[in-house]
Amino acid sequence: MEARAVTKYLRVSPHKARLVADMVRGKKVDDALTLLKYTPKKSCRIITKTLRSAIANAENAGNMDVDQLYIHTICVNEGPRLKRWRPRAMGRATRILKGTSHVTVVLKEI
């Protein structure tokens, strides 16, 4: 049995979110929540919300024991980029690409 949760179109760069996802991959759920709580990064709040959603899905739909759950898979994929323009010298403009992310968390029992 597995439980999963997906959060899409997050306004955080995929590279920055992957740094946090790599920290908690393969850990037990309670250890991962503790680690995310004390890490000072913006993507920690987002991944915590997605992880709590996956835990709730495991409790309600899967009838799984929360104490036996671990993070089987966590992946951060790239979403669509927001295109913005910045004025430059001599009337020119420079494109700014603001990244978005899709986070997927899959939990399994030990």
**pLDDT digits 0-9 by tens, 55-104:** 999 998 868 888 899 999 999 999 999 999 999 999 999 999 999 999 99
Alpha helices in the chain (DSSP H): 14-24, 29-37, 42-60
pLDDT for 61: 83
| CB proximity list for 102: less than 8 A, separation 6 or greater | 6, 7, 8, 9, 10, 76, 77, 78, 79
**pLDDT digits 0-9 by tens, 9-41:** 999 999 999 999 999 999 999 999 999 999 999
pLDDT for 110: 87
CATH, range 2-109: 3.90.470.10
Q: Where are the domains of the chain?
A: 2-109
pTM of the model: 0.88
Q: Alpha-carbon distance 71 to 54, whole Å? A: 10
